[in-house]
Structure formats: structure tokens, C-alpha cells
Homo-oligomer: A and B are copies of this chain.
Amino acid sequence: MDDTHRGTSPADRFNVAQAVSGEPSDVPALMRDIGGRARLAARRLAIATAEEKNEALRAMAARIRDASAAILSANAEDVAEAKAKGQTSAFLDRLTLNPERVESIAAAVESIAALPDPVGRVLATFERPNGLRIERVATPLGVIGVIFESRPNVTADAGALCLKAGNAAILRTGSESFRTSLAIAEAMGQGLSDAGLPADAIRLVPTRDRAAVGAMLSGLEGNIDVIVPRGGKSLVARVQDEARVPVFAHLEGICHVFVHAKADLEMAKRIALNAKMRRTGVCGSAETLLVDRACAATHLKPLVAMLLDAGCAVRGDEAAQAADPHVTPATEEDWRTEYLDAIISVRVVDGLDAAIAHIETYGSHHTDSIVTGDAAAAERFMAEVDSAIVLHNASTQFADGGEFGFGAEIGIATGRMHARGPVGVEQLTSFKYRIRGSGQTRP
């Protein structure tokens, strides 16, 4: 920190104009300051009541509504810059806000207030022979760093989810939605203050400088407890490679539907169609259809025809190619590819074991489904496929926190540590042991 700014923190010195212009600045000092403030805010949040947090969430929603004009104006600048840079129309559509979209951002924050409080839940209790009463009780995790691409709504969603679980959040948005996200974050900070909670509890990184991401991945000197990346594969891969703190993420969703010998054909068609085509760009969409050789004679051709009819390109092994002339050859690489598009790879496998082996070899431990009338085969599939979510007779597109009843999710994790599957507010908590005695000492 230089002398002329003595008494002013680096965070205070930042302003939007400076940040947007990319003017050189002391990013490491800024990020250290943000980390320290987040930790202090987290200590306050850890003892906040459910009602304090919910009041803050409702105040944030109100402040977002009040700031609608400012948010839309900031967004117009972001959109203009993105247009000038030649972004695609799909990108511009995701970036562009209108009054209805601002309202839905505010409403989403309110809906998080309505969820049950995940902190303070008694997860287990045991009374010991010596009379000690031990409770495992849910606590906040601490400070959560969220790194996301240019989706304006994530600023509000992620900040609100972290707050609900008593955590401070340090948010890093993609460059293209920087002004919009700053305007939303400012409204959220005002809402926190309105409710008597520290505005530092939700903080957008106020610079586009890429060095800020590296600082977050280093953990800000112990002041970030976990990082959640939300975005494409390259963002997640970088975070997973470089983060020195735990990461809740999935790199990709190479999801499978396995049509077992005992599958009902109509159900298999319905599930395969929905798993692939309901939305092709989501992580829970199916990328590979495996068909049991024992039912291929009856099931393969109708399944392939149904997918082709629905406008899906089909890449298949020899059996699938034989089923329809429109099937193109699948290469080894296809089994490892997350298309995120109306393309599916189709393979005939020799029974349950071969299906499991294929999924364990090529899958991404995200979400996999078996269609079968054979309960024992289903149980084996669900036991042996090592994925966060395994389904029997249901579409892989149910891989979503909302569909699980979690209310909202910050992402889906495929790691095995702490959180796995949809990461809702419960997964954003840790726990502690509370022990109540009457003077016990240990023999």
C-alpha cells in the first residue's frame, strides 16, 4: 500500500471505471484485503440466526428490484461491449437482462430465503455410558470462492446460496458481465447492511485483472475454504489443476443410458429421448446410449430410428451402423466426448458387466441410468457404477438440485470429498461436535 492512500483499504480504492479500464493496480493487496474481510464476515455469519439471514436475503431482493434501472444500464454497457467484440447471438442472449429477468433474479434470492436453514441441524446424537451427550451439528463452511462465466444471475444465486448456509462469498465473474455483476453485487451488499449483516459477506472481485483468479486459487492465505467453478470445461480444468484449496465441481458430464436385456422398449425410448434431447447443453444430458446385445435384435433399431427422427445425429459401433444407414461410425474418441449437442454415440455391449465396464472406462462419474425390468440388475448397476448419481428407469436429466428438492444448487460435484452430486445449501455446510457433560473427566 502506498503512503498517499494510508488509512484507506485497497478494496475501497477500487472503482468501476478504474477496474473496467484495466488500469494497473495492486491486485495481490486488493485480494488479500478481500480475503481478510471475508473471513471476518464469515465469523459474524456463523452466529447469525436463520431469521437474520433470511431478512438479509429479502432485503437483497428488494435492493435488486430498487436498482433495476442501474443494473439494466450497466448491463447495456456490457452488452454493447460484447457486441463490439463480436460475441455470438446465443452469448448475447444469455448476457442480456430486461426488467423481467431482473425480477426473476430478485425472486430467486427470495426463494432461497424460503428454504429451511441448513445451519444448526443436529446430524447425529449419541449418549455415552459416562453420561456425555454428543451432538454432531451443522455449521457453515466458512468462505466460498465462486468463479463463473458471464451469467449475470449467478452473482445473485451464488451469493444468496452461500449466505443461506452462513458462508461468506467471494465472487469472480466473467469479464463480459462485469458491470452488470458489480451492480447486482452492490445491491446485495446494501441488502446485507439493511439487515445488519456485514456487506463484506458477499463480495464481487472488483477488477477484471486475471491475476485475481490466481490469487483466489491460492486460497487467499487461508481465507478461502472451497472454490466452486461454474462454467465450461476449460475454466473447470484450470481451477481443478491450480487450486490449492478444495474444489466442488464436475469437469464434464459424460452420462450414459444403458438399455438392459430386460428393458421395456417403450420406456427405453422415452428415457433415451428425454435424456439426450430435452436439453442437450446441460451436464445431465446423455452422451452415450448402451444397448444390451441380448435385446439388440428387438430394441436397437427402434431406438436409433427414434433418435434420428428427433433430429439427433447418431454415431455408432458396427451394430448401430447396421441398424440404420444414417448412423455414422463412432471412433474411440466418441466414447469420451461430451457433445453438449444433438449428437449421441451408440454401442452394443455384452450385458450388464460390459455396460458397467464401459461406463467406468469412459464416463465422468456424473450421472448414469439403467433401463430394465430386472430389479437385481438395477441394484448391481447402481452399486457398481461409481457415479455421483445413478438411476433406474429414469432420465439422466434429473441430475439437478431443484429436481432433488434442494431448492437450488450452486453446481454439481463429481469428486468424492464432502459434496457429491447437486451442491445445495446443505452441502455448503460443515459440522462440529457439541458435548454436554456434568463434570466428566477421562479415566
Contact = CB atoms under 8 A, between A and B. Distances in A.
Contacts of A394: 132, 435-441
A390 B135 CA distance: 10
A386 B139 CA distance: 9
Interface string A314-358: 000000000000000000000000000000000000000000000
A441 B274 contact: yes
B416 A142 contact: yes
A270 interface: yes
Interface in A395-438: 395, 397-398, 400, 403-405, 416-418, 420-421, 430-438
Nearest to A385: B432
Among A386, A389, A432, the most chain B Cβ lie within 10 Å of the Cβ of: A432
B421 A418 contact: no
A387 B132 CA distance: 18
Nearest to A439: B267
A72 interface: no
B126 A433 contact: no
A304 to B, nearest CB: 19
A26 interface: no
A128 B388 contact: no
A440 B398 contact: yes
B126 A398 contact: no
A360 B417 contact: no
A19 interface: no
Interface of A, secondary structure class, is mixed
Interface string A353-375: 00000001000000000000000
Interface string A242-277: 000010000000000000000010010011011100
A382 B434 CA distance: 6
- Taken together, the copies of this chain in the complex come to 2
B274 A433 contact: no
Given A395-B442, A416-B141, A441-B395, A433 B388 contact: yes
Interface string A219-257: 000000110000000000000000000100000000000
A310 interface: no
A273 B439 CA distance: 12
Nearest to A129: B405
- From A139, A273, A398, A433, residue with most partner B Cβ within 10 Å: A433
Contacts of A397: 441-442
A226 to B, nearest CB: 7
A403 to B, nearest CB: 7
A70 interface: no
A386 B417 contact: no
Contact of A393 (B270, B271, B437): B437
Q: Which of A141, A246, A264, A378 has the most CB of B within 10 A?
A: A246
A404 B246 contact: no
A306 interface: no
Interface in A100-157: 126, 128, 132, 134, 139, 141-142
Interface of A: 43, 46-47, 126, 128, 132, 134, 139, 141-142, 225-226, 246, 264, 267, 270-271, 273-275, 278, 360, 378, 382-384, 386-395, 397-398, 400, 403-405, 416-418, 420-421, 430-442
Closest 10 CB pairs between A and B? A394-B437, A274-B441, A416-B430, A418-B418, A397-B442, A391-B435, A267-B439, A393-B437, A394-B440, A389-B433
